[in-house]
Amino acid sequence: MFGIGFSEFFFVILAVLMLFGSKEIPQIARFLGKTMAQLKHATNDLKSEIQKSATDNGMDMNSLTGGISEEINKAKEGITKMVNPMDSITSSIQNPVEQVKEDIENLTGPIKRQL
């Protein structure tokens, strides 16, 4: 759940009990539940408004989300290159090395056959 283990979850529950007390927790849970429901409702309203606007303007939602997906993929590639720049260097070095290996095999192939 949320990428936390049982011991971490237990620690969070214990900290909440110590900070707010057992009498306050139901009120806090109720408030969080209402807030999450309002947030979900607002998100659904926003999605429906975007879809309505896109269809009114003759846009296809796939083209709209496709552009966003493309930008996300570009950002992922950029972050990957920033985090591990050796990958791009290694790939740029490996291609010429492979080409040289093939050239050597092509040159030495006839020599090996004659021996």
Q: What is the pLDDT of residue 35?
A: 93
* 55-68 pLDDT, tens digit each: 777 666 666 666 77
Q: How confident is the model at residue 42 (pLDDT cuts 50, 70, 90)?
A: very high
Q: Which pLDDT belongs to residue 84?
A: 63
What type of residue is 90?
T
**Structural domain spans, the chain:** 1-83, 84-115
The answer to whether residues 38 and 46 touch, using CB atoms and an 8 Å cutoff, is no
Which tens digits make up the pLDDT trace of 67-92? Answer: 777 888 888 887 777 666 565 566 66
- Please return the burial class of 64, using the count of CB atoms within 10 Å of its CB with bins 0-12, 13-18 and 19+: middle
4: how many CB neighbours lie within 10 A of its CB? Answer: 11
More confidently predicted of 9 and 43: 43
State the pLDDT at residue 87: 59
Mean pLDDT of the chain: 77
In three-state secondary structure terms, 52 is helix
Q: Measured between alpha carbons, how far is 75 from 70 in angstroms, rounded to an integer?
A: 9
